C-alpha cells in the first residue's frame, strides 16, 4: 500500500517513516487490546427495499484527517441520500457519483471515539444482484494531528440479495371460547430466524406488535399461543414478521372464536302459547349468573359467547297473576276426587299452598284469590320451568321456557 502524507500543503513519499510509525501505532493499539479498523457494514435486502449502509471508524485514536474512496455497483444500488451523520464533523467533503463514494475531512480536534456509532450512513434503493462496497486502498487513509498516516485495516461491506423462499404462513383458526389458539410460521431448513407476531383489529389496515402478556405467549417464537380465547378476539388477524436477517411477513390468518349458543322463547302454557315479552332470562351455572338478557316483544331470547359446560336457564316473569277462577277450583276438586287427572305443568300449578298434595284446600284458595279474599299464594304467582342444557361442543340449543300462573290449571289465562 502506498500512502500520501501531507505536511502544510507539501506532498512526499514516506514509506519507511510510515512503516516505522505503523509498527509503533499497531503495537500501542494491540497493547490495549484494541483492533483499529475502518469498515462498511453488510446488509441484505429485497429488490425495491431502501437500505442503509453505515461506515465505521472503530478503535482508532487521534484521527485528525481521513480520506475514503468506496466503490459499488450502480446496477445494484441507486443512491438516495445521506441517512444520518451522527455527530458534528465540521467541514466535510462528501460526494457520490458513478458508483464511487468519496469522503474527506480534517480538523484541529481529533475524531471522537465513536465505538459502535457509525461515522456516516448512506441510503440506497436496492435494484438487483449483490454488490461489494469496497475501499480503494490507493486513496483511503487516516492521519493524526501531525499529518502522519495511521495504519488500520479496511474491511468492505456487502449489500446482499435476500434469499427467496416460500414462508409457511399460519392458517385460519376456529377455537372454542376458553380454549387455546395456536398460529405457526415455521420454515423447514432455514435457521437463525427471528420472529415477531403482530395483530390487526381492522382487517389488516394497521398492525400492532404483540408482547408476552395474557392472553398472548410465544410472540417472538415460531408459534403464537392465545389462551384463553375470548369473544373479543374473534375476526382478528395475526401475522408474523420473520427476519433472516431479511424481513418477510407471512400472510395473515384470522381467528374465529366459537361458542355454544342458546335460542328460545318464553311462552305461557295456554293453547296459543302466548309469548311473554320483556321478562328477564338468566343463564346460570349453579348459583352463578353467567349471562342475563330480556325477551323481546315476541318473547324470544338468546345467549352467546359462553364456555362449554352445563347450564340452567331461569326466567323471571314480572307480569301480573291471573287465570285462576271457579272453573279451576272445580277442576282441582275433581282431580282430588279422581274424576279427572291433571297433568304437569297444570298438576304442579294446582298445589297453590305447597303442601305437596292437591285437594279442596287448594281449590278454596284459588277461589278466594279470584274474589279478592287472598292477595297471594304460598307458592307464589308463577310456575316457571328451569331447563338444563349441557354443551360438549360449540353447538346451538333451542330451549323454550314455559310459564304458568299458579291456580290456572286449565290454562285459560292470556297474559
16 and 153 together in one domain: yes
120 and 193 together in one domain: no
Domain hosting 188: range is 173-258
In a domain, 124, yes or no: yes
User: How many other C-beta atoms are found inside a 10 Å radius of the C-beta of residue 219?
Assistant: 19
Q: At which of 161, 189, 210 does a domain end?
A: 161
In a domain, 112, yes or no: yes
In a domain, 411, yes or no: no
271 and 314 together in one domain: yes
19 and 139 together in one domain: yes
Reported as a single tens digit per residue, the pLDDT across 232-262 is 999 999 999 988 767 888 999 999 999 999 9
What is the model's pLDDT at position 20? 30
- pLDDT confidence tier of residue 66, bands split at 50, 70 and 90: very high
- pLDDT confidence tier of residue 187, bands split at 50, 70 and 90: confident
What is the model's pLDDT at position 245? 66
What is the model's pLDDT at position 155? 96
Q: At which of 110, 136, 161 does a domain end?
A: 161
Task: List all residues 6 or more positions away from 140 whose beta carbon is below 8 Å from its beta carbon.
Answer: 38, 67, 68, 69, 70, 154
User: How many other C-beta atoms are found inside a 10 Å radius of the C-beta of residue 380?
Assistant: 13
Rounded to whole angstroms, what are the CA distances from 38 to 63, 120, 123, 169?
A: 12, 12, 19, 41
The total of structural domains in the chain comes to: 3
Work out the mean pLDDT of the chain and round it to a whole number. Answer: 88
- Looking at mean pLDDT, say which of 42-51, 129-138, 155-164 comes out highest: 129-138
- Between CA 204 and CA 202 the distance in angstroms is 6
- pLDDT confidence tier of residue 19, bands split at 50, 70 and 90: very low
Across 20-58, b (16+ Cβ under 10 Å) vs e yields ebbeebbeebeeeeeebebbbbbbbbeeebebebbbbbb
Reported as a single tens digit per residue, the pLDDT across 212-221 is 999 999 999 9
- Give percent of the chain above pLDDT 90: 74
- pLDDT confidence tier of residue 101, bands split at 50, 70 and 90: very high
Beta bridge partners, 239, equal 198
Instruction: CATH number of the domain at 116, please.
Output: 2.60.40.680
71 and 127 together in one domain: yes
Higher pLDDT, 7 or 292: 292
28 and 98 together in one domain: yes
The answer to whether residue 17 scores a pLDDT higher than 50 is no
Which one-letter DSSP state was computed for residue 20? H
Reported as a single tens digit per residue, the pLDDT across 385-396 is 999 999 999 999
Q: What are φ and ψ of residue 26, in 5° steps?
A: -65, -35
| Strand intervals (E) in 127-279 | 131-135, 141-143, 149-150, 153-155, 157-161, 173-176, 181-184, 194-200, 208-209, 216-217, 223-226, 236-243, 247-249, 253-258, 261-268
- Between CA 250 and CA 165 the distance in angstroms is 12
- Between CA 9 and CA 341 the distance in angstroms is 126
68 and 11 together in one domain: yes
What is the model's pLDDT at position 27? 35
Rounded to whole angstroms, what are the CA distances from 380 to 320, 349, 415?
A: 11, 10, 16
Q: Residue 10 burial by CB count (10 A; 0-12/13-18/19+): exposed, middle or buried?
A: exposed
In a domain, 167, yes or no: no
Task: Calculate mean pLDDT across residues 40-61.
Answer: 90
The answer to whether residue 16 scores a pLDDT higher than 90 is no
312 and 221 together in one domain: no
In a domain, 385, yes or no: yes
Reported as a single tens digit per residue, the pLDDT across 329-386 is 999 999 999 999 999 999 999 999 999 999 999 999 999 999 999 999 999 999 999 9
- Between CA 396 and CA 412 the distance in angstroms is 33
- Between CA 195 and CA 186 the distance in angstroms is 10
355 and 393 together in one domain: yes
The answer to whether residue 76 scores a pLDDT higher than 80 is yes
User: How many other C-beta atoms are found inside a 10 Å radius of the C-beta of residue 310?
Assistant: 11
Lowest average pLDDT, out of 32-46, 249-263, 319-333, goes to 32-46
265 and 230 together in one domain: no
Q: At which of 188, 223, 258 does a domain end?
A: 258
In a domain, 285, yes or no: yes
The answer to whether residue 33 scores a pLDDT higher than 90 is no
Lowest average pLDDT, out of 56-65, 81-90, 252-261, 342-351, goes to 81-90
Q: 239, 207 in Cβ contact below 8 A?
A: yes
119 and 23 together in one domain: yes
In a domain, 265, yes or no: yes
Across 285-302, b (16+ Cβ under 10 Å) vs e yields eeeeebeebebeeebbbb
Cα atoms found within 13 Å of the Cα of residue 409, Cβ hemisphere only: 28
- pLDDT confidence tier of residue 190, bands split at 50, 70 and 90: low
Instruction: CATH number of the domain at 339, please.
Output: 2.60.40.10
In a domain, 362, yes or no: yes
Task: List all residues 6 or more positions away from 256 whose beta carbon is below 8 Å from its beta carbon.
Answer: 172, 173, 174, 175, 234, 235
The answer to whether residue 181 scores a pLDDT higher than 60 is yes
Q: 349, 404 in Cβ contact below 8 A?
A: yes
What is the model's pLDDT at position 34? 62
Q: 127, 79 in Cβ contact below 8 A?
A: no
Query: Measuring CA to CA, which residue among 367, 334, 348, 354 is closest to residue 411?
Result: 348
Lowest average pLDDT, out of 121-130, 137-146, 190-199, 203-212, goes to 190-199
What is the model's pLDDT at position 161? 85
275 and 251 together in one domain: no
Beta bridge partners, 51, equal 124
Amino acid at each position: 500500500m502506498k500512502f500520501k502524507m501531507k505536511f502544510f500543503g507539501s506532498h512526499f513519499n514516506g514509506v519507511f517513516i510510515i512503516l516505522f510509525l505503523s509498527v509503533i501505532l499497531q503495537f500501542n493499539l494491540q497493547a490495549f487490546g484494541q483492533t483499529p479498523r475502518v469498515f462498511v457494514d453488510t446488509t441484505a435486502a429485497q429488490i425495491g427495499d431502501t437500505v442503509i449502509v453505515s461506515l465505521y471508524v472503530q478503535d482508532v485514536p487521534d484521527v485528525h484527517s481521513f480520506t475514503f474512496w468506496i466503490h459499488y455497483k450502480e446496477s445494484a444500488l441507486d443512491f438516495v441520500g445521506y441517512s444520518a451523520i451522527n455527530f458534528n464533523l465540521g467541514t466535510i467533503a462528501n460526494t457520490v457519483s458513478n458508483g464511487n463514494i468519496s469522503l474527506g475531512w480534517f480538523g484541529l480536534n481529533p475524531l471522537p471515539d465513536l465505538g459502535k456509532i457509525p461515522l456516516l450512513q448512506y441510503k440506497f434503493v436496492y435494484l438487483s444482484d449483490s454488490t461489494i462496497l469496497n475501499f480503494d486502498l490507493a486513496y483511503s487513509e487516516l492521519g493524526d494531528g501531525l499529518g502522519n498516516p495511521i495504519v488500520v485495516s479496511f474491511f468492505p461491506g456487502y449489500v446482499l440479495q435476500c434469499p427467496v423462499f416460500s414462508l409457511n404462513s399460519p392458517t385460519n383458526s376456529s377455537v372454542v371460547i376458553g380454549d387455546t389458539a395456536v398460529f405457526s410460521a415455521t420454515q423447514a431448513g432455514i435457521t437463525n430466524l427471528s420472529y415477531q407476531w403482530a395483530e390487526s383489529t381492522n382487517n389488516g389496515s394497521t398492525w400492532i406488535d404483540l408482547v408476552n402478556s395474557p392472553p398472548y405467549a410465544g410472540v417472538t417464537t415460531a408459534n403464537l399461543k392465545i389462551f384463553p380465547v375470548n369473544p373479543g378476539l374473534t375476526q382478528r388477524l395475526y401475522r408474523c414478521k420473520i427476519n433472516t436477517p431479511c424481513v418477510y411477513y407471512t400472510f395473515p390468518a384470522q381467528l374465529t372464536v366459537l361458542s355454544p349458543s342458546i335460542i328460545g322463547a318464553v311462552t305461557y302454557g295456554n293453547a296459543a302459547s302466548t309469548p311473554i315479552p320483556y321478562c328477564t332470562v338468566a343463564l346460570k351455572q349453579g348459583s352463578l349468573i353467567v349471562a342475563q338478557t330480556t325477551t323481546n316483544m315476541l318473547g324470544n331470547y338468546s345467549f352467546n359467547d359462553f364456555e362449554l359446560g352445563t347450564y340452567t336457564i331461569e326466567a323471571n316473569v314480572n307480569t301480573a297473576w291471573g287465570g285462576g277462577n271457579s272453573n279451576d277450583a272445580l277442576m282441582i276438586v275433581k282431580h282430588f276426587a279422581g274424576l279427572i287427572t291433571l297433568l304437569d305443568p297444570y298438576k304442579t300449578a294446582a298445589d297453590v299452598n305447597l303442601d305437596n298434595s292437591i285437594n279442596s284446600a287448594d281449590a278454596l284458595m284459588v277461589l278466594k284469590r279470584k274474589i279478592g279474599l287472598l292477595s297471594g299464594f304460598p307458592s307464589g304467582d308463577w310456575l316457571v320451568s328451569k331447563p338444563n342444557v349441557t354443551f360438549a361442543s360449540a353447538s346451538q340449543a333451542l330451549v323454550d321456557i314455559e310459564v304458568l300462573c299458579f291456580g290456572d290449571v286449565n290454562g285459560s289465562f292470556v297474559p
